[in-house]
Chains A and B, each alone.
Chain A
Amino acid sequence: MSTSKISIPKFNLRDKFGDWWEGTTRNQRIIFRVLLIAFFYILPFLDNPVFGTTESDFSSVLFYPMGMYVLMAIGLNIVVGKSGILDLGYVAFFAIGAYTHAILGLSFGFNFWINVVLGMAFAMFAGVLLGLPALRLRGDYLAIITLGFGEIVRIVAINVNFTGGAAGLAGIPAPPSIFGVEFLVDDPRPYYWLVLTLTLLVIWAYMRLIKRRPGRAWEAIREDEDVAEFMGIATTKYKLWAFVLGGAIGGGAGAVYASQVTSIVPELFDLNVSIMILACVVFGGMGNLWGVAFGAALLGYFPEKLRFLSDTRILFFGLLMVVMMNIRPDGIIPRKKREKVYDKNTGKEVSR
């Protein structure tokens, strides 16, 4: 990474929080988690002038772009941040998930809960089809292949009939109510809760993977792919897993998105989406889940918060990005891992 020219005293959020976190007891951690999760569920009710967005509906913003960005950025982070695979076509999975729900919902009357699972499955399948040949390549070549993949999915959607062509598909069914929560066109909150729930599930699975063997394999591949092979790691398999799991999350996000917006056109799924989600990952802190989630939420939030500036907001947004990348080139909460303490005999991690 480049050295920063502007020197600002390092405010190390990660270390401050990390120190505090390591000093907490098990019960305190549970309470903290519960409170944090509760906070996110009640967030739609905290629409006030300071917090909320005045020009656009806060609950809407929470669902899209914020919630969607966070979910997708977490998915892409497995690929780009954790495993070091540069994927410029992430939008393809999002599109596959969206069209899966749209087509199966409209033509076959499948309900959303089935379609979201199928959308993830199709996205994973597409990930295998693309990943098997593409993941033999590295760096620039891989980036270009994945970029092409993103474009191909969009172009196919324009040119075949069952996707509705360039006109897209309208009247996509909403999810049936679940636990007494109704999904209505004029209330984005249930959709936000849905994305939030999915995000929490994804985080749960992710945390388990990264502190175990798959996480070590992915990091080793990111650090030095050749050496990872020499250490007995099936690099192709683990890269494919990263790619496919990231794809599944993108596919799930797509199905949710389609069910909320109720109509989709191919142009929604252009390169900009891939770039935006990649920006979330880089801006937040590649390879660090919390950084990525926070970064994605901010990148979703700011353009909406600054909406009163109308067109110049994009300029401000761009400036913010440039300044941030200078001050914190590794992202808001950089990946730089904290040192750990292990028991000398068992190798188990102990809190200090």
Chain B
Amino acid sequence: MSDRLLEVRNLTMQFGGVTALSEVNLHVSKGEIAALIGPNGAGKTTVFNVTTGYYTPSSGEVLLNNESIIGLKPHKIARKGLARTFQNVRLFGDMTTLENVMTGADSRNKVGLIGSMFGTAQSRRDEESSHLKAAELLNFMGISHRGGQLARNLPYGDQRRLEIARALALEPKVLLLDEPAAGFNPQEKVELGELIKKLRDAGFAVLLIEHDMSLVMKISDRVSVLDFGQKIAEGTPSEVQNNQRVIDAYLGVADHAS
């Protein structure tokens, strides 16, 4: 047994002829912020999509809490303690902010459809606890004043915060954040960094995909670099920053982009 809450081993993911991930090894432990960086199209989001069960990998292993989760449906994996946010915000737009968070809280509850229909004692307890937990998380994320608004009407920044609140409602062990700072101003980025550190200190294992290098370098305990589906470097922020392959990969992308 290791303290690695999430670990992927030799993960390969092919889409038809495209190899999005090739023999990738990654891990995150309790109380750790591991960052996953790399140029666009490197395969970072694909790592999330495979570990959350959306895609079945072509080969390799995914272990959550030392238990293989390959072949499990995403909702089963989510309930085992893996929660995520999305690169492009994906909220339940026509539901209120509070209801969005409640969907995650509900997944921890027992009540079924029949129980809900007849309003059993279990159903009442579960409803109350979902409401309560959602309210707490909105407070924690500083968006409780948005509770009753439809998610689609929230300002962009609050939508991103809501996504994190919704993920936390699953009471996960591992939190996967896909570019959570995208579109944030410097002040908001600092606040987000503080929040992520707070989550780490609370015992979550955080796997963070992020393009903002100063944020990544400031808060990460360990950084892994993907390029064309391969892990080309791993280490402390300063090790990675001075790694020639990493510098080349980023400069190479700058060449393509220009």
Contact = CB atoms under 8 A, between A and B. Distances in A.
Interface of A: 205, 208-209, 212-214, 216-217, 219-220, 222-224, 226-235, 238, 241, 335-337, 339-348
A241 to B, nearest CB: 5
A344 B98 CA distance: 10
Interface string B118-141: 110001001110111111101100
B102 A346 contact: no
Interface residues of B, number: 54
A243 to B, nearest CB: 12
A227 B86 CA distance: 9
A304 B149 CA distance: 42
Interface in B124-165: 126-128, 130-136, 138-139, 144-145, 147-150, 153
Given A230-B84, A231-B78, A232-B75, A339 B103 contact: no
B135 A345 contact: yes
B113 A339 contact: no
B149 to A, nearest CB: 5
A228 to B, nearest CB: 7
A346 B90 CA distance: 26
Contacts of A235: 75
Complex A-B, nearest 10 residue pairs according to Cβ-Cβ distance, in ascending order: A232-B107, A347-B135, A347-B131, A223-B92, A340-B148, A232-B78, A229-B74, A212-B116, A342-B147, A213-B106
A346 B135 contact: yes
B150 A213 contact: no
A226 B90 CA distance: 10
B111 interface: yes
B103 A216 contact: yes
B93 A208 contact: no
Given A339-B150, A343-B135, A232 B170 contact: yes
B149 A339 contact: yes
B75 to A, nearest CB: 5
Nearest to B149: A339
Given A216-B95, A228-B92, A340-B148, 12 more contacts: A213-B116, A214-B116, A214-B117, A219-B94, A223-B92, A230-B84, A231-B103, A232-B79, A241-B113, A337-B95, A340-B96, A341-B147
B95 A223 contact: yes
B94 A230 contact: no
A113 to B, nearest CB: 21
Contacts of B90: 224, 226-227
Contacts of B84: 230
Contact of A213 (B98, B118, B127): B127
Contacts of B119: 208
A336 B107 CA distance: 25
A208 B116 contact: yes
B5 to A, nearest CB: 17
B99 interface: yes
A213 B131 CA distance: 11
Contacts of A341: 147-148
15 contacts: A208-B118, A212-B111, A216-B102, A226-B54, A226-B74, A227-B92, A232-B78, A233-B75, A340-B98, A340-B147, A342-B98, A344-B138, A344-B144, A347-B138, A348-B128
A180 B75 CA distance: 51
A226 B91 CA distance: 11
A276 to B, nearest CB: 26
B46 to A, nearest CB: 15
Given A337-B94, A337-B95, A231 B104 contact: yes
A233 to B, nearest CB: 6
Contact of B139 (A212, A228, A344): A344
B238 interface: no
B52 interface: yes
B198 interface: no
B109 interface: yes
B222 interface: no
A339 B147 CA distance: 9
